[in-house]
Amino acid sequence: MEVFLQTLVAGILKGGLYGLIGMGMSLIMGVMGIINLAHGQLMMVGMYITFLLSHYLGIDPYLSLFVSMPALFLLGVAIQKYTLNPLMEVDSILPENQVLMTVGIGMVLTEITRFIFSSDYKSVQTSYSNATFFLGEISFSIALVIAFFIAILFTLFMFWFLLKTDVGRSIRATAQDKDAALLMGVNSKRITIITFGLGSALVAAAGTLLMPIYYLFPDIGGPFTRKAFVITILGGLGSTVGAIFGGITLGLAEAFGATYIGMAYDDMIGLIIFILVLLFLPGGFKRLTKI
Amino acid sequence: MKKIAPLILLIILIIFPLVIQNAYYQHLMILVLMWVVIGSGWNVIAGYTGQVSFGDAAFFGTGAYTAGILAYHFHISAWWGMAFGGIMAMGVAFPFGWICFRLRGAYFALASLALNEVCRHIATVAEPLTQGMVGILIMPSFLSKIPYYYIALALAVLSVGFVQIVMHSKWGYYFLSIREDQDAAESLGINTHHYKMVSLNIAAFLTGMAGALFMNYMGFIDPSVVFSLHDISIMAILVGIVGGVGTIFGPVVGAFVMVAVHEFFRTGFFGLFKGLAALTGSDFLIVAAKYISQAHVLGFGILVVLVILLLPNGIVGDWKKIVDKLFPFKKKGVST
C-alpha cells in the first residue's frame, strides 16, 4: 500500500510539470494547427540557461525563471517570425512543411548546444536537491513539491490570461477560427508570434523547475518532445485544461509503469498510451468535458 | 531529350563501377542507390498520397532486422531477407495504417513518429531475438563492392519503374486525388482508407527491401542505427523533399544530392579545411577543421531549414524557378 501511495504522489508531482510542458505545446497547436516538434529542444535551451546562471553566477534555479522565461519567449518569437511565418506564404504541395521545419529547428538547437557544451552530463546541485520531508510513511521531494506548486501557479495565471485579457481572448479567437478572427480585426500573424513565444516560455519554466532534480545533456530534448505530444494528444488537441489532465495522467502512468513493470519500459508507456488514446478516445479528454 | 535522359543515366550507372575502381566512391554510390529506393517509397505515401510519414525507419529497420534475424538465428542466407524484409515491413505497416489512417495531416505524421520510437524500443528490449543494443553481425557474402552495387542498382531501377507504373495506373490517380482533397475524393466514391493503406504498404515494402539490402551490405545493425529518427526517417523526408515531392525522378536526384551533402559535411568539406590547415600550418584552420567535422549534424539541420524555406517543392519540382533565378537573362530570351 505504501509503495502504491508513494508512486501515486511521485506521479502526480511529476505530472504537474508535464502539464506545464504540454500546455505550451497545446497552445501552439491550437493557434497554428501544427505540432511543434522542437518543443523539448526549447526546454533544453531553457535548462542550459538555468545551468549557466547557477554554475557561473550562483543564481538559484527558481530565481533564474526570470531570465530563462523571457529569453525563451524571445527565442520563440524569433523562430515563429523568421522561420515558421514565412512558410505560410510559400507555395508547396505538402502542408506539413511547418512541422518538418520544427524538426529542423530542433536539430539545429541540439547541435548548437552540443557544440558549445559538449555531450557531457551536467546538473545543478542545490541544498534542497535531495531534501525530502515525510507525511506519514510517504516521502516528498522538496524540489518536486515546489516545482509542482509553481507549475500550478503558472497554470492558473495562464487561465486568467487566456480568459480575461485582450491578447488572451485574441489567442482563443484565432484558435477557434482563424479567418473569422482575422475579419474581427485580430492580427493573427502577431497572435501566432506571441503564442509561440508564450509556449516557449512555459516550457522553459518547466525545464528550469526540473533542473534541481534532473540532469542535463543536449539530447534531452527528444524524449521531452515525445512526452509533450503524448500529453497533447491525451488532453485533446489545443485544450489547455486537457493538457494538465494529460500531464498528470502521463506522470501517473510513468510512475506506475516504472514501479510495477520496469524502468526499461519508461518511454514506451507513453507511446502505448498514445496509441490507446487514438484507438479508444480520439480527441482526448477534451471530448469528455466539452470545454 | 526528356525521354532518353533516364536511359543515359542508367547506362552511366551501369558502367560506373567498371570505370571508377575506388572503393570509397563505389560505397557512396551504393548508398545513393539505397536511398533512391527509400526515397521512392516515401514519395509514394507522402509525395503522391499526401500522408507525410516520419516513421520510415520503422519499415527500414524491420526489413534490416528480418534479414539479420534470418541469418543469425535460422542460418538462412540474409539475401532471403530481401523478399521477407519487404513483407515483414508490410506486416508492420498494415496494423499501423489500419489504426492511424483515421488521423489526418500532422497527426498522422506524429503517429508515424511514435511508430518509429515503438519499433526502436521493441528492438532494444527484445534481446533474445534482436540482441538488443549489441546488434546483429553477419558475414558479408562478397568481398568486392561490385555485386552489391549491381544488386542495389537493380533494386533502385525496379522501384523507380514500379512507382512509375503504379502512378500511371488507376491507383496512382486515386492517390493523387486523396492528396489534393480527401473529402472530395471520398465524395466521389473513392475508398480513401483503403487506398491510403495500399499506398502505405507499397512504401513499406520498398523501404523494407532497402533495409534488407542495408543489412546485407553493412553486415552490422543495431537499433540506434536502423531505427534512427534523424539518420533514416528525416533523411528519407529530405531525399523526397530535396529531389521533388511527387515526381518520379525526384528521389533519384534527392538521394544523390543528400548523400553527397551528408558526406560533404561529415568529412569536413571533403577534407578541404584539413588540407588547407596542413598546407598553411595556421592554427585557426586546424581548430576550424576539427569543429567542422564535429558539427556535421548541425550543418544537416541548417540544410533542412534552408531547403524547406527556399525549395519547398524540391529540385525537380522547382526546376523552373531555379533556372529563372540562376539565369535571369535566359528568361528574358524566352519571353521576347
pLDDT reported for residue A287: 63
Average pLDDT over residues B111-130: 82
- pLDDT at position B108 is 82
Chain B residue with the nearest C-alpha to that of A226 = B114
Shortest alpha-carbon distance between residue A105 and chain B (Å):
7
The ipTM, to two decimals, is 0.74
Helix (H) or strand (E) holding A290: none
- Chain B residues close to A106, C-beta within 8 Å: 301
Nearest to B99 among A107, A110, A279 (CB): A279
Closest Cα partner for A126 from A147, A105, A103? A147
Interface check for B119 against chain A (CB to CB < 8 A): the answer is no
Helix axes B146-167, B5-19, angle to 10 degrees: 170
Percent of chain B with pLDDT over 70: 89
When pLDDT is cut at 50, 70 and 90, the band that residue B335 belongs to is very low
DSSP A139: E
Sort out which chain A residues have CB atoms less than 8 A from B110's CB and list them: 35, 229, 233
How far apart CA B233 and CA A139 sit, in angstroms, is 43
pLDDT band at B274 (very low <50, low <70, confident <90, very high): low
Question: Would the CA dihedral through B60, B65, B70, B75 be positive or negative?
Answer: positive
Question: What b/e string do you get for B128-153 counting C-beta neighbours within 10 Å, with b at 16 or more?
Answer: eebbeeebbebeeeeeebeebbebbb
Distance from CA of A77 to the nearest CA of B (A): 17
The b-or-e profile of B6-45 (16+ CB within 10 A means b, else e) is: beeeeeebeeebeeeeeeeebebbbbbbbbbbbbbbbbbb
Average pLDDT of every residue of chain A = 82
Q: Cell 571533403 sits at which residue?
A: B270
* DSSP notation for B249-276: SHHHHHHHHHHHHHHHHHTHHHHHHHHH
Contact status of B59 with chain A (Cβ, < 8 Å): no
Pairing of β A132-135 and β A122-123? unpaired
Question: Is the CB of residue B79 less than 8 Å from the CB of residue B68?
Answer: no
Query: B181 or B300: whose pLDDT is higher?
Result: B181
Name the closest residue on chain B to residue A227, using Cα atoms: B114
Q: Is residue A107 part of a domain?
A: yes
What whole-number distance in Å separates Cα of residue A15 and Cα of residue A19? 6
- Contact between A242 and A33 under an 8 Å Cβ cutoff? The reply is no
Q: Is A223 touching B (CB cutoff 8 A)?
A: no
The parts of chain A modelled with pLDDT lower than 50 are: 291
The phi and psi torsions of B278 (rounded to 5 degrees) equal -65, -35
Interface contact A95-B100, CB threshold 8 A? no
Q: What is the mean pLDDT of residues B92-121?
A: 82
Supply the pLDDT for residue B251.
Answer: 87
Q: Does A33 touch chain B (CB under 8 A)?
A: yes
Q: What are the CA-CA distances from residue B55 to residues A159, B60, B216, B250 (Å)?
A: 36, 9, 22, 20
A85 touches chain B (CB under 8 A): no
Cell of A215: 540532469
* Mean pLDDT along residues B78-85: 83
Give the number of C-alpha atoms closer than 13 A to the C-alpha of residue B271, restricted to the C-beta side.
3
* Residue A230: how many other CB atoms lie within 10 Å: 28
Torsion of the alpha carbons at A260, A264, A265 and A266, rounded to the nearest 10: 90
> Is residue A231, in this structure, part of any structural domain at all?
no
Determine whether the interchain pair A222/B229 forms a contact, defined as Cβ–Cβ distance below 8 Å: yes
Q: What separation in angstroms does the CA of A237 have from each of A67, A273, B183?
A: 29, 15, 21
Residues whose CB falls within 8 Å of the CB of residue B62, separated by 6 or more in sequence, listed in order: B85, B88, B89, B91, B92, B119, B208, B211
The reported pLDDT for the residue numbered A291 is 45
B304 in contact with chain A, both atoms CB, cutoff 8 A: yes
Count A/B contacts: CB-CB distance under 8 Å: 122
Does B118 touch chain A if contact means CB atoms closer than 8 Å? yes
**B104 in reach of chain A (CB within 8 A):** no
Q: Verify whether the Cβ–Cβ distance B234 to A103 is below 8 Å.
A: yes
Of B52, B102, B301, the CB nearest to A111: B301
Give me the domain span that covers residue A88.
2-219
- Would you say how long chain B is, in residues? 336
Q: Spell out the SS3 assignment of B143-193.
A: CCCHHHHHHHHHHHHHHHHHHHHHHCCHHHHHHHHHHHCHHHHHHCCCCHH
Q: How many Å apart are CA A155 and CA A19, to the nearest integer?
A: 8
What is the count of structural domains for chain A?
1
Confirm whether A233 is domain-assigned: no
A179 and chain B: CB distance < 8 Å anywhere?
no
Report pLDDT for B204: 92
Q: Could you write out the three-class secondary structure of B14-70?
A: HHHHHHCCCHHHHHHHHHHHHHHHHHHHHHHHHHHCCCCCCCHHHHHHHHHHHHHHH
Residue A1: exposure state from Cβ atoms within 10 A (0-12, 13-18, ≥19):
exposed
Question: How high is the pLDDT of residue B333?
Answer: 47
- pLDDT at B115 exceeding the cut of 60: yes
What's residue B260's pLDDT?
Answer: 85
Element (H, E) at B97: helix B80-100
pLDDT of res. B334:
46
Cell numbers describing residue A165: 485579457
From residue B113, alpha-carbon distances to A204, A259, B120, B194 in Å are 24, 27, 11, 21
Top residue of A31, A107, A110 to mutate, by most chain B CBs within 10 Å, is A107
Does residue A144 fall inside a structural domain?
Answer: yes
Mean pLDDT of chain B: 82
What the block records as the C-alpha cell of A93 is 504541395
Residue B293: predicted pLDDT: 64
Q: Note whether A259 contacts B: Cβ–Cβ < 8 A.
A: no
Would you say residue B138 has pLDDT above 70? yes
In this complex, is the C-beta atom of A263 within 8 Å of any C-beta atom belonging to chain B?
Answer: no
CA distances (Å), origin B176, targets A197, B33, B106, B167, B319: 37, 26, 18, 9, 21
Residue B219 clears pLDDT 60, i.e. is over it: yes
Give how far Cα A150 sits from Cα of A154, B230, B303, Å: 6, 35, 39
With contacts defined as CB-CB under 8 Å, which chain A residues touch B300?
107
Q: Picking from B34-48, B100-114, B166-180, B263-277, which range would have the lowest pLDDT averaged per residue?
A: B263-277
**What pLDDT sits at residue B277?**
67
Q: Tell me which residue in A108, A233, A278 faces B298 most closely, judged by beta carbons.
A: A108
Pseudo-torsion of CA A185, A189, A190, A196, nearest 10°? 140
